Amino acid sequence: MKFFRNILNSRSDSDGNFFVQIQKILGFQPKKKSLYKKAFTHRSMNKRDVEGTPINYERLEFVGDAMLSSVVATHLFNEAPRGDEGYLTKMRSKIVSREHLNELGKELNLIDLVESKIPKSNFGSNIHGNLFEALVGAIFLDLGYAYCERFIFNRVIIPHVDIERLEGKVISYKSLLIEWCQKEKKTFSYNVYEDTGKDELKHFSVKLYIDNKVIAKARATSKKKAEEKASKRAFFAFQAKISRTK
């Protein structure tokens, strides 16, 4: 009996610490606590409810993504009255980019709260942004739009959104480089190949050709990251020329 009591007490202590941390992050009291546990449960736990529905943060990510886009879009609409649809879309993309969401998740140390059978050191960088989106989704489903909006303003918009600074921020060097190549009628291609070597994680290498010449090389843990890294190097190689054609 004492053994079971100790187990129950340890679970209670663990949950208590979890919700103390959640309340500190939110700045207000959560109601449906099960939503927040789900927001930090990785699919590797293989948890299911009584109806057999998976319990993990992936569906909450979807809701959180929509809420971030909605709140940020409304803020930009109000703060940039002269911006057309294209401008507003680009600015929203910069604010809710995967890179920025990962930074927000790291800032809040959300990975410390995740329940997973995978060692935290094995997660990619996107886990931070995924957890941030899931947390936003949980807030909305728990307390509604007003609380969700308040959280996004306090954690995203007020500390991080400077419209003038964001106007000059590049969110995709690959898109920028391709746009310039098309405008200047230059041929381009990305030659990507697997290059694991002695690394435990799979790596990819890429050679970026412009007008049949290798302009940049890069290596990363995904094809997309490798292409973006090579594009960034090529962008700085051609920066003066690209700036003149803007």
Considering only CA atoms, which of 63, 46, 216 is closest in space to residue 205?
216
Confidence label for 19 from pLDDT (cuts 50, 70 and 90) = very high
Q: In what order do the strands lie in the sheet with 204-210?
A: 188-194, 204-210, 213-220
| Mean pLDDT for the stretch of residues 220-239 | 87
Last residue of a domain, one of 100, 133, 167: 167
Distances in Å between the alpha carbon of 5 and those of 10, 12, 14, 152, 183?
9, 10, 14, 40, 71
**Distance (Å, whole) CA 212 – CA 208:** 9
Q: Residue 226: give its domain's CATH number.
A: 3.30.160.20
pLDDT one-digit tens code per residue, 172-219 = 788 888 888 898 999 999 999 887 666 667 788 999 999 999 999 999
Confidence label for 27 from pLDDT (cuts 50, 70 and 90) = very high
DSSP H/E element including 220: strand 213-220
pLDDT of residue 13: 65
Q: Which structural domain, as residue segments, surrounds residue 58?
A: 14-167
Tally of domains in the chain = 2
Burial category of 208 from C-beta neighbours within 10 Å (exposed 0-12, middle 13-18, buried 19 and up): buried
Per the residue annotation, which of 65, 142, 227, 228 is the catalytic one? Answer: 65
Contacts with 144 (C-beta within 8 Å, 6 or more apart), sequence order: none
Task: Assess whether 159 and 189 both reside in one domain.
Answer: no
* Winning range, highest mean pLDDT, from 36-40, 211-215, 218-222: 36-40
Per the residue annotation, which of 58, 61, 79, 133 is the catalytic one? Answer: 133
Mean pLDDT of the chain: 88
Task: Assess whether 231 and 215 both reside in one domain.
Answer: yes
**pLDDT surpasses 60 at 115:** yes
Last residue of a domain, one of 150, 167, 184: 167
Q: Is residue 106 part of a domain?
A: yes
pLDDT of residue 7: 41
Contacts with 1 (C-beta within 8 Å, 6 or more apart), sequence order: none
Catalytic status, residue 65: yes
- Cross-strand bridge partners of residue 210: 188, 213
pLDDT of residue 179: 86
Catalytic status, residue 227: no
pTM: predicted TM-score of the whole model, two decimal places: 0.71
